[in-house]
Structure 1
Amino acid sequence: MYHYSFLEMISFSTGYGKPLLIGVAMTICLAVAGFFIGAFIGIFGAWAKLSGGYIARSVADAYTTVLRAIPELLVIFLFYYGGTAAISALGKFLNVEGTLGFPGFLAGSLAIGICAGAQHTEVFRGAFNAVHKGEIEAALACGMSRFTRFRRIIMPLTLRHALPGLGNVWQIVLKESALVSAVGIIELMRQTQLAAGSTGMPFNFYMLAAAAYLGISTISGFLLQLSERRLSRGVRR
């Protein structure tokens, strides 16, 4: 009986190379979608904490407190099964035949984004507070409109201070994407589990998955460093 080597098992022609690569792409798509959903929420959450009224601040405080206390896997289950129940109820109301389910990718992206939004809120809030008030006052003295002031002064300076924190949020989101396999999405971790179970080489495939996550993190960190250098041009260190 012929025994395949590990290199043959991960080949793109007869092995698991192509499915694993598709899993890597799915992991990146989930992480990117969740990250930007979280960033969108975080912008409004930071605004509510910084400039909102009592109700807006209370809602933002409750959101960040609750979401940072609940496990991410529980949020994914709530979105997936809650969404499936809602769609099924809507299908019955509309007399739609067949089984209806909430898309796993959408549930995973929304759940990751909702969880990441709490982290983004605090990152943006801290970054805005790090902007020197004199720079904003200088923009006011120059007669800039509110939109111009935000576009040319507040947003670039806030983003410069936020980038290190955003890098940490990205790492968290990337690792949280592995939890989405619990609702049937075949991303890198789920595909690794399938390959490990089918070949009887769990250590080899899990080490390969670890190397893939490390590679994504390393490339992401390099791109973030380039962004930090670009935004910090002309700033004395």
Structure 2
Amino acid sequence: MRSLFALLLAAVLGIVLAPKSAFAAPSAKAEKTTLTEADGRWRLKLSIDYGSVPDIAFIPMIFDFEPVTYYERALTDESPKTPVLNKKPLQNMKHINESMEVGFSDGTGKAFKVTKFDFAIRRDRGFEAGEYKLIIKIADSGKQVGQPIRLVLEGDNPVVDRRAISFVGEKADGDKKGKPKSKHADTDVAKSDEPTGDPAPSSDGAPVDAEPPPPVEPKSGGCGCEVPGTIAPTPFAALGIALVGLVALRRRRSRR
């Protein structure tokens, strides 16, 4: 009986005095939960407790980020020049997963159950200023490491213009300005001043010429033109006249 009691006591003491690390669950804690943006990045620093000394130096883990709040910067009618911050709750958003290997050993190869780990959260990976819920999981088993961590990423998102559009003001401005003046207006006025018709009549009603027409010099001699109503003599007519004259001359001689 005494030997059996001693064995039971040893077993109980072994359980009670056993190292807590053998039964500890993995956990993680953020050094800061509110991060400031620098060059499109936020630096997240974590302390991860694996719960026990891992068998391998690097443990693949998944960092699951769920967007819960978006920090909108908007121009409004009340603040048309300076953006105001609107915290817009988000639901059923796509998660952003970052897969990384977390090391639990030093340069000499000695392993530890607790490690310091940090990495950059970047805009080019889909992150924006706002709030996220971070869940860390062991990639092989899917086991969750600690409780979810709520992170606040401070920064300036692109500005959104939410001012009301007013067409009345634009119309009033247009009326004040009036129609645009044609660049040819001055030229058109100058052209209209130039006289385009006949010269203005003089005081007595007769038109005044700017310059009299030049005098026409008379031509000497005939112009070689035919006078209307006359017939130019032909060779046959001249021959007939000569014969008539010859006959008349002979008659005169015969009378003598």
Give the TM-score normalised by the residue count of structure 1: 0.21
Give the TM-score normalised by the residue count of structure 2: 0.20
Structure having the larger proportion of residues in strand = 2
- Which is greater in Rg? 2
Report which structure shows greater RCO (CA 8 Å, sep ≥6): 1
